[in-house]
Amino acid sequence: MPWSTPFDEPIALRSGRKLATLQHAADHIMKLPEEAQQSQCWQVAVENLINAAETGGGWLMFARIAMMRALNANEDG
């Protein structure tokens, strides 16, 4: 599944931007500070994005969920 594969529903950010594809989500993570990228929630998101890109299927949904969880954890902390 290509990195340009869209999520079933884009992920809305507080800034108003949306992460519509696997690539948008990966780019968002890469723009985070290194310390944040290494946190467990973002590492789980990365793993799920890679699985979605390599395998497809249900991994796309898991990748979206992992991104949402990491974004929410980031807002809480």
User: Tell me, what's the pLDDT at 1?
Assistant: 86
> And the tokens for 25?
């989500």
Range of the domain at 41: 20-76
- 54's CB contacts (< 8 A; 6+ apart) are 1
Residue-wise pLDDT for 8-62, tens only, equals 999 999 999 999 999 999 999 999 999 999 999 999 999 999 999 999 889 999 9
- Would 12 be classed as within a structural domain? no
| Secondary structure class of 36 (helix, strand, coil) | helix
User: Tell me, what's the pLDDT at 75?
Assistant: 62
- Would 38 be classed as within a structural domain? yes
- Would 1 be classed as within a structural domain? no
- Would 4 be classed as within a structural domain? no
Asked if 4 and 23 touch (Cβ cutoff 8 Å), the reply is yes
pTM, full prediction: 0.90
- 4's CB contacts (< 8 A; 6+ apart) are 21, 22, 23
- Would 56 be classed as within a structural domain? yes
Report the domain count for the chain. Answer: 1
